[in-house]
């Protein structure tokens, strides 16, 4: 769809008559496109492909839309919305939300040379260049509502570099091992990994060193052994150290980042980064897989580099010099900096990943004051949870490429000197613009003491295409104090569509005497009224005056408020029909003797005095942990509107309070954060101040502040652990502060093995017993001091939830049930069931402490309830009339989804009531049964009559901790004790009391004394237990070197998968009986090898990758698993056939099942009729070092497609070579400015 207007005849999109407050909605659908050019849109709600020369304006505080619901048309309130893949040379005016606290409006997409004029919106992080953000504040319900922007600049991760070894010396050099987390460029593909590798080396070079290499010698071996002992514990796994050797695919040689005479042997064509693989006795050279690379780097420094620099290298991306800004630059952010309340400024907000920094350089922030610039951003300096925004270098004035705006206003006196204060006399006002303006169009320039700043209008002329000068006579003393300029509607010389917005209140001056115009109206807010007075010198004879008032703004609807003409002698009026604190707008007219009215006077605005202070509700904190910081919250209400909330705080004993603005988060909620650096052990004193602009309210005070103790206690800030599996040992790390060696990690209410690393780190080892989201607690002397909710998930692939065959009788006047069962054994704290009811009601057969439900989901909470399988959910139907069947779609136990959900609606069947025969009685052959642990029995039950409909549908209720029902219907004793089993069929019951005796295992032996195999192999261990008659369940303990695959015969036969090299021991035990079985596990040497590492294709073309498994030793057949990094470019099936889909770059990975080894192939797809910039080999819209690396790979293959050759062959010699790669790299780094051979 295309909207193509012209500058002289633009297309107008607006709501129809009687629907003026409704929005205009234009949205693209599916793969469709919407393109607009020269279009005016009123109350826009647009999602378009592209737009140029748009003028989007919202005319009402609240806009509406209509939609069809259930066959009826409903009317809803909403807000404007603007989204475009690319929008340029356009103007967005007065877009705002329907209420002060509802920031649902959004601007999304990429914008270039666009004005955002007096809006209240939430800007997405799409991208903004050459754009002007002019006083992004809107008047909504008499409040100032402020815009916010998620930073859209290029972002980079901040590498965390920690020295984990001692500094060791060899041959006049220093060596150290760094653990480096976070890749500068974020990704883990080949390109990102190589870029980060070279960038990391660049960072080390900046600090005086580089990624290290050592020669093969006895001294080198001792060095690496010493570093190994620094990093690893004794008998730990191998240590992989990334070294300075890499494979150069241009020369097909291994090169070094260090000394060239030292040769390396590890890197390869497919894994070009080298490593030292170090054990306790030796080392060998290898390489690093891109997706599973080590975080440990060997660094090398000259001996003269000081140890402090080595231990604390500066890895900041801006220091290293790898950053660039392409998404947020050349903008003018023009807040009303004359307002000292920074909460009234639009803020640019960083993402909540404090390991990232965002580029916002080369923008103009309305000032040169770095302190004021910093106050316009919310980043790490404001809140340590956010990333860091880089604003320097910034522009000292708006760029001439930026959307037209006022760059400065100053006043000169009759001598031509600049002045900030004016008195009686004549002055010139100089208005400067950032670019050439049309001198045939006069801007509207006025000033006044308050909104709308139109009390006095200036006349003038253009002094140059960038300077307009107006005359400002000051002749009668009528007002004193601050005055503010207002400028709008200047027109760009090169594009008349680009007009400046309403620039108000940014430039100020002081008046000691301000002049009266011909019709001059002033106002004063009083308690319960607004006082007006005026002067006029246009008319000598007149009948009198009329006063007009608007409640919606200077462009709103004005109505006369005097019931009769005010006499010519009257020069004042008091408007008493006002609401306290609400703003009103006024002008007056002169009525001549012919009863005709003059033009309106200037517009003045004011509000009656508000004498009601805000109301603060705040609950003081109980305590604060030293080193963590504190967040203070409060709710604040006001009859008119809250203008500001401030938190004042100090430590007891300090003289002065510090202050911080409390941010309005949602609704009436306000929050402020006190940094940890501002507190120490002792008492924090604080109070909260709120104002509506006139009145003040307090929670606490200077003399009687709120007091909260700051204590030195352990605190968990993060838990790092992968998802666990029931029965398999796992490790994790607890991060925080104030840890000590007595602290213990507690999971599932049990202390786990805890290792003290430092005051900020603990490590733990844990073997989960049951599935769920796991909370981590920290105890000191068995007292919980800190907790971390839902730190990681534990799954159990063996847990099953299922339904059995069920028969339901229609129109039977009693409840009937569809039972859902499980084999889950363990503690249950929450159960979440998602279902389609079909008219049935969901129940559970346990007592619960709370439940939460919606139309198709119920969530139950329990207090450490232990279940042993059996019935978990009942779906109840009462007086069933139709053959509807409920459906269970999801079950979560302890917050984790049950993977094995076996629910089948076909297991539910129906009969008519006419076919129903009721059960009359149930008789059990034995009313009491005695069992040993492990014994099984099947209750002998007679159901009468024999033709009863539910004769074969018998249910059992019992203590599941004592008995377990088997799939064949029998019961097995699993724990000593007694339970009264209830046997029920069709509402008729019988009881059997079951007693279980204990028969412990006394001795356990294994068929073999030792087992061995390679990683991935399966080992089956069979046990013999005595006495032979005992079938009590034998338990197993083991570490993460093995994985329990299956346990049968009550633990007497167990199947383990070998997962990690080394020696390990599995232990079978029952009470005091124990058998330890050693297992020796050898390294899995198998790997996948691909015949090619890059291919070029056209869309819809296919290519089958040649993949071979080498060195396979596993006794289990393993498959190659294929994945694509970008299925929009290329897909791959299970046999390695690659299908090209669309233009771009994708990485196809081949991984060996149950192995960390991977191989990959790069796929480049381009249609011959698609145009990209020369050198943009990966077709991402820019030429970078990535394209150079891809070109090197292409130089090694035969017959690349013509389309790819056209991008990579930059010297035009008809083939792709290393020369092309070098030129692309030079162009990407700015060394050359042209890629073709003319640019040599």
Q: Which residue has the tokens 């209140």?
A: 505
Place 234 in a pLDDT band, splitting at 50, 70 and 90.
low
pLDDT winner (highest mean) among 225-229, 273-277, 405-409, 621-625 = 405-409
Peptide bond into 742 cis (omega under 30): no
pLDDT at residue 99 above 50?
Answer: no
Contact call for residues 388 and 349 (beta carbons, < 8 A): no
pLDDT at residue 204 above 70?
Answer: yes
DSSP 222-244: HHHHHHHHHHS-TT---EEEEEE
In terms of Cβ atoms closer than 10 Å to its own Cβ (0-12, 13-18, 19+), residue 758 is: exposed
User: Which contacts qualify for 734-737: CB closer than 8 Å, 24 or more apart?
Assistant: 734/761, 734/762, 734/763, 734/764, 734/776, 734/778, 734/788, 735/760, 735/761, 736/760, 736/761, 736/778, 736/786, 737/625, 737/627, 737/628
CA proximity to 771, closest of 788, 799, 802, 796: 796
Number of H helices, E strands in the chain: 8, 103
Contact call for residues 207 and 314 (beta carbons, < 8 A): yes
CA proximity to 681, closest of 651, 647, 707, 716: 651
pLDDT at residue 298 above 90?
Answer: yes
Peptide bond into 991 cis (omega under 30): no
Q: What's residue 406's pLDDT?
A: 96
**C-alpha to C-alpha distance for 1181 and 1162, rounded to whole angstroms:** 18
The torsion angle over the Cα atoms of residues 534, 536, 539 and 544, rounded to 10 degrees, is: 0
Give the residue with greater pLDDT, 465 vs 628. 465
Tell me what the mean pLDDT of segment 515-526 comes to.
72
In terms of Cβ atoms closer than 10 Å to its own Cβ (0-12, 13-18, 19+), residue 688 is: buried
Tell me what the mean pLDDT of segment 152-162 comes to.
83
**C-alpha to C-alpha distance for 48 and 37, rounded to whole angstroms:** 11
Q: What's residue 1239's pLDDT?
A: 42
Residue 920 Ramachandran class (φ > 0 left, ψ -120 to 50 alpha, else beta): alpha
Tell me what the mean pLDDT of segment 1105-1130 comes to.
82
Q: What's residue 475's pLDDT?
A: 56
> What's the first-to-final CA gap in the chain, in angstroms?
45
Buried b (16+ CB within 10 A) or exposed e, 800-810: bbbbeebebbb
pLDDT at residue 466 above 90?
Answer: yes
Q: What's residue 189's pLDDT?
A: 56
Q: Which of 475-484, 885-894, 917-926 has the lowest mean pLDDT?
A: 475-484
Q: What's residue 361's pLDDT?
A: 93
| Bridge partners for 567 per DSSP | 544
What percent of the chain has pLDDT above 90? 41
CA proximity to 160, closest of 19, 353, 9: 353
Tell me what the mean pLDDT of segment 475-491 comes to.
76
Q: What's residue 144's pLDDT?
A: 54
pLDDT at residue 1084 above 80?
Answer: no
CA proximity to 769, closest of 797, 727, 800, 732: 727
How many CA atoms lie within 13 Å of 458's alpha carbon, on the beta-carbon side?
Answer: 31
Q: What's residue 730's pLDDT?
A: 93
Place 1237 in a pLDDT band, splitting at 50, 70 and 90.
low
Contact call for residues 117 and 57 (beta carbons, < 8 A): no
**C-alpha to C-alpha distance for 1002 and 271, rounded to whole angstroms:** 55
Q: What's residue 19's pLDDT?
A: 84
Place 514 in a pLDDT band, splitting at 50, 70 and 90.
very low
Q: Which residue has the tokens 């404090």?
A: 354
pLDDT in tens, 628-665: 889 999 999 998 889 899 999 999 888 889 999 999 98
- How many Cβ atoms sit within 10 Å of the Cβ of residue 1? 12
Average pLDDT, the chain: 87
pLDDT at residue 705 above 90?
Answer: yes
| Bridge partners for 468 per DSSP | 431, 462
In terms of Cβ atoms closer than 10 Å to its own Cβ (0-12, 13-18, 19+), residue 914 is: exposed
pLDDT at residue 1155 above 50?
Answer: yes
Place 480 in a pLDDT band, splitting at 50, 70 and 90.
low
**C-alpha to C-alpha distance for 1021 and 1054, rounded to whole angstroms:** 5
CA 439 from chain centre, in angstroms, equals 48
Query: In Å, how far are 474, 520, 537 from 516, measured between CA atoms?
Result: 8, 6, 9
Place 568 in a pLDDT band, splitting at 50, 70 and 90.
confident
pTM, two decimals, is 0.46
Structure tokens at 493: 């010389």
Place 40 in a pLDDT band, splitting at 50, 70 and 90.
very high
Give the residue with greater pLDDT, 1155 vs 529. 529
| Bridge partners for 146 per DSSP | 137
Contact call for residues 474 and 513 (beta carbons, < 8 A): yes
Q: Is 1032 helix (H, G, I), strand (E, B) or coil?
A: coil
Structure tokens at 901: 């959900």
Q: What's residue 1171's pLDDT?
A: 78
**C-alpha dihedral sign at 816, 820, 823, 828:** negative
Q: What's residue 922's pLDDT?
A: 94
pLDDT at residue 975 above 60?
Answer: yes
Structure tokens at 466: 């960038």
pLDDT at residue 766 above 90?
Answer: yes
Contact call for residues 787 and 716 (beta carbons, < 8 A): yes
Contact call for residues 303 and 174 (beta carbons, < 8 A): yes
Place 347 in a pLDDT band, splitting at 50, 70 and 90.
confident
Domains of the chain listed by start with CATH number: 1-78 (no CATH), 96-154+324-403 (no CATH), 158-320 (3.10.100.10), 407-511 (2.60.40), 519-607 (2.60.40.10), 615-706 (2.60.40.10), 715-795 (2.60.40.10), 1003-1082 (2.60.40.10), 1087-1239 (2.60.40.1080)
**C-alpha to C-alpha distance for 132 and 139, rounded to whole angstroms:** 19
Tell me what the mean pLDDT of segment 744-759 comes to.
92
Place 1117 in a pLDDT band, splitting at 50, 70 and 90.
low
What percent of the chain has pLDDT above 70? 94
Going by C-beta distance under 8 Å and a sequence separation of 6 or more, which residues neighbour residue 1169?
none
Q: What's residue 518's pLDDT?
A: 59
Structure tokens at 423: 């008195």
Give the residue with greater pLDDT, 1004 vs 264. 1004
**C-alpha to C-alpha distance for 1150 and 1134, rounded to whole angstroms:** 10
**C-alpha dihedral sign at 211, 216, 222, 228:** positive
CA proximity to 690, closest of 655, 652, 639, 651: 639
**C-alpha to C-alpha distance for 93 and 200, rounded to whole angstroms:** 46
Contact call for residues 992 and 924 (beta carbons, < 8 A): yes
Q: Is 9 helix (H, G, I), strand (E, B) or coil?
A: coil
pLDDT in tens, 795-853: 999 999 999 899 999 888 888 889 999 999 889 999 999 999 888 888 888 888 888 88
pLDDT in tens, 242-254: 988 888 878 888 8
Q: What's residue 141's pLDDT?
A: 46
Tell me what the mean pLDDT of segment 1194-1207 comes to.
86
Q: What's residue 101's pLDDT?
A: 39
Going by C-beta distance under 8 Å and a sequence separation of 6 or more, which residues neighbour residue 1223?
1175, 1210, 1211, 1232, 1235
**Can you give the length of the chain in residues?**
1240
Q: What's residue 260's pLDDT?
A: 65
Q: Is 1204 helix (H, G, I), strand (E, B) or coil?
A: helix
Going by C-beta distance under 8 Å and a sequence separation of 6 or more, which residues neighbour residue 752?
744, 745, 746, 764, 765, 766
Place 701 in a pLDDT band, splitting at 50, 70 and 90.
very high
**C-alpha dihedral sign at 697, 702, 706, 711:** positive
pLDDT at residue 183 above 80?
Answer: no
Q: What's residue 821's pLDDT?
A: 92
**C-alpha to C-alpha distance for 547 and 317, rounded to whole angstroms:** 63
Q: What's residue 858's pLDDT?
A: 92
How many CA atoms lie within 13 Å of 1043's alpha carbon, on the beta-carbon side?
Answer: 17
How is residue 1209 annotated by DSSP? Answer: -
pLDDT at residue 516 above 50?
Answer: no
**C-alpha to C-alpha distance for 699 and 377, rounded to whole angstroms:** 28
Query: In Å, how far are 544, 1091, 1137, 1156, 1157 from 1150, measured between CA atoms?
Result: 91, 12, 11, 11, 9
Q: What's residue 1102's pLDDT?
A: 92
């Amino acid at each position: 769809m295309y909207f193509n207007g012209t500058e002289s005849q633009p297309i107008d999109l607006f709501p129809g008559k009687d629907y003026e407050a409704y929005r205009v909605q234009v949205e693209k659908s599916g793969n469709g496109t919407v393109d607009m050019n020269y279009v005016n849109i009123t109350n826009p709600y647009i999602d378009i492909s592209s737009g140029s020369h748009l003028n989007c304006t919202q005319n009402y505080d609240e806009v509406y839309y209509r939609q069809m619901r259930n066959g009826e048309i409903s009317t809803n309130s909403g807000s404007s919305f603007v989204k475009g893949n690319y929008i340029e040379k356009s103007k967005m005016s007065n877009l705002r939300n329907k209420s002060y606290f509802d920031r649902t409006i959004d601007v999304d997409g990429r914008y270039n040379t666009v004005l955002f004029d007096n809006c209240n919106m939430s800007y997405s992080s799409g991208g903004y260049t050459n754009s002007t953000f002019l006083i992004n504040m809107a008047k909504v319900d008499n409040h100032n509502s402020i815009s916010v922007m998620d930073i859209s600049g290029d972002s980079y991760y901040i590498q965390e570099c920690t020295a984990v070894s001692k500094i060791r010396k060899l041959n006049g050099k220093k060596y150290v091992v760094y653990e480096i987390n976070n890749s500068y460029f974020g990704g883990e593909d080949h390109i990102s990994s190589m870029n980060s590798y070279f960038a990391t080396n660049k960072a080390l070079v900046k600090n005086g060193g580089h990624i290290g290499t050592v020669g093969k010698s006895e001294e080198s071996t001792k060095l690496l052994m010493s570093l190994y002992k620094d990093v690893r514990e004794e008998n730990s796994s191998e240590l992989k150290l990334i070294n300075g050797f890499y494979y150069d695919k241009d020369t097909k040689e291994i090169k070094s980042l260090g000394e060239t005479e030292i040769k390396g042997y590890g890197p390869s064509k497919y894994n070009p980064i080298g490593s030292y693989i170090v054990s306790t006795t030796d080392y060998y050279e290898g390489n690093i897989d891109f997706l599973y690379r080590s975080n440990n780097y060997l660094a090398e420094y000259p001996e003269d580099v000081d140890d402090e620099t080595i231990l604390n290298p500066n890895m900041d991306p801006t220091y290293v010099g790898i950053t660039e800004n392409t998404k947020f630059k050349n903008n003018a952010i023009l807040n009303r900096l004359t307002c000292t309340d920074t909460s009234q400024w639009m803020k640019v907000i960083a993402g909540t990943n404090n390991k990232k920094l965002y580029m916002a350089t080369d923008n103009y922030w309305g000032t040169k004051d770095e302190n004021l610039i910093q106050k316009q951003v919310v980043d790490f300096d404001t809140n340590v949870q956010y990333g860091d925004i880089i604003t320097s270098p910034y522009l000292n004035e708006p760029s001439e490429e930026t959307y037209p705006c006022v760059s400065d206003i100053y006043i000169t006196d009759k001598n031509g000197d600049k002045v900030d204060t004016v008195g009686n006399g004549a002055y010139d006002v100089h208005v400067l613009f950032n670019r050439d303006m049309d001198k045939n169009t006069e801007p509207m320039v006025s000033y006044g003491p308050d909104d709308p700043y139109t009390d006095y209008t200036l006349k003038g002329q253009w002094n140059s295409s960038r300077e307009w000068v107006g005359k400002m006579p000051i002749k009668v003393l009528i007002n004193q104090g601050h005055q503010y300029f207002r400028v709008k509607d200047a027109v760009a010389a090169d594009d008349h569509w680009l007009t400046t917005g309403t620039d108000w209140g940014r430039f100020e001056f002081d008046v000691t005497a301000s002049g009266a115009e011909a019709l001059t109206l002033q106002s004063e807010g009083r308690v319960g009224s607004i006082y007006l007075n005026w002067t006029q010198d246009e008319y000598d004879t007149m009948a009198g005056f009329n006063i007009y008032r608007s409640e919606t703004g200077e462009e709103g609807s004005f109505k006369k408020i005097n019931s009769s003409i005010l006499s010519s002698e009257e020069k004042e009026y008091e408007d008493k029909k006002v609401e306290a604190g609400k703003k009103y707008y006024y002008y007056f007219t002169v009525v001549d003797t012919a009863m005709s009215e003059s033009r309106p006077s200037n517009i003045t605005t004011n509000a009656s005095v508000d004498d009601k202070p805000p109301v603060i509700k705040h609950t003081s904190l109980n305590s604060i942990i030293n080193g963590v910081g504190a967040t203070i919250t409060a709710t604040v209400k006001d009859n008119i509107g809250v203008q500001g909330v401030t938190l004042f705080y100090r430590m007891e004993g300090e003289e002065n309070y510090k202050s911080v603005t409390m941010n309005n988060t949602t609704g009436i909620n306000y929050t402020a954060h006190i940094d940890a650096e501002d507190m120490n052990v002792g008492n924090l004193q604080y109070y909260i101040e709120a104002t509506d602009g006139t009145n003040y309210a307090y929670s606490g005070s200077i003399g009687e502040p709120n007091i909260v103790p700051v204590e030195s206690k352990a605190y968990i800030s993060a838990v790092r652990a992968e998802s666990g599996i029931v029965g398999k040992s796992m490790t994790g790390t607890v991060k925080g502060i104030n840890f000590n060696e007595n602290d213990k990690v507690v999971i599932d209410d049990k202390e786990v093995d805890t290792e003290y690393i430092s005051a900020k780190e603990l490590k733990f080892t844990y073997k989960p017993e049951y599935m769920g989201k796991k909370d981590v607690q920290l105890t000191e002397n068995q007292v919980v001091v800190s907790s971390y909710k839902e730190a990681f998930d534990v799954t159990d692939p063996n847990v099953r939830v299922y339904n059995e065959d069920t028969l339901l009788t229609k129109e039977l006047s009693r409840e009937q049930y569809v039972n859902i069962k499980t084999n889950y054994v363990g503690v249950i704290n929450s159960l979440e069931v998602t279902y389609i009811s079909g008219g049935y009601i969901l129940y559970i057969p346990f007592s619960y402490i709370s439940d939460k439900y919606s139309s198709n989901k119920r969530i139950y909470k329990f207090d450490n309830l232990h279940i042993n399988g059996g019935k978990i959910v009942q779906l109840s139907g009462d007086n069933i009339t139709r053959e509807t069947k409920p459906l269970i779609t999801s079950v979560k136990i302890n917050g984790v989804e049950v993977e094995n959900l076996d629910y089948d609606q076909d297991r539910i069947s129906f009969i008519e009531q006419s076919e129903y025969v009721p059960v009359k009685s149930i008789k059990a052959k034995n009313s009491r049964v005695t069992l040993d642990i492990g014994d099984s029995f099947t209750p002998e039950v007679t159901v009468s009559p024999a033709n009863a409909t539910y004769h074969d549908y018998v249910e059992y209720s019992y203590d599941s901790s004592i008995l377990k029902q088997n799939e064949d219907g029998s019961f097995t004793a699993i724990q000593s004790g007694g339970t009264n089993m209830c046997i029920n069929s069709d509402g008729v019951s019988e009881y059997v009391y079951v007693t279980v005796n204990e028969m412990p295992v006394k001795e356990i032996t294994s068929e073999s004394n030792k087992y061995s195999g390679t990683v991935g192999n399966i080992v089956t261990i069979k046990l013999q237990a005595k006495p032979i008659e005992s079938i009590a369940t034998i338990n197993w303990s083991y570490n993460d070197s093995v994985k329990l695959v299956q346990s049968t015969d009550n633990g007497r036969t167990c199947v383990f998968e070998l997962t990690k090299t080394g020696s390990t021991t599995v232990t079978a035990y029952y009470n005091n009986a124990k058998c330890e079985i050693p297992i020796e596990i050898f390294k899995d040497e198998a790997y996948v090898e691909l015949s090619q590492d890059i291919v070029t294709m056209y869309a819809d073309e296919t290519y089958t990758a040649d993949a071979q498994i080498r060195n396979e030793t596993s006794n289990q057949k393993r498959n190659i698993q294929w994945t694509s990094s970008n299925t929009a470019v290329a897909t791959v099936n299970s046999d390695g056939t690659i299908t090209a889909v669309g233009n771009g770059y994708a990485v196809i990975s081949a991984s060996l099942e149950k192995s960390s080894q991977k191989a990959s192939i790069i796929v480049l797809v381009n249609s011959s009729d698609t145009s990209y910039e020369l050198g943009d080999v990966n077709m991402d819209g820019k030429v970078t070092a990535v394209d150079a690396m891809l070109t090197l790979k292409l130089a090694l293959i035969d017959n690349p497609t013509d389309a790819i050759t056209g991008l990579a062959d930059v010297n035009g010699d008809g083939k792709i070579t290393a020369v092309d790669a070098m030129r692309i790299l030079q162009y990407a780094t700015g060394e050359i400015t042209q890629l073709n051979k003319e640019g040599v």
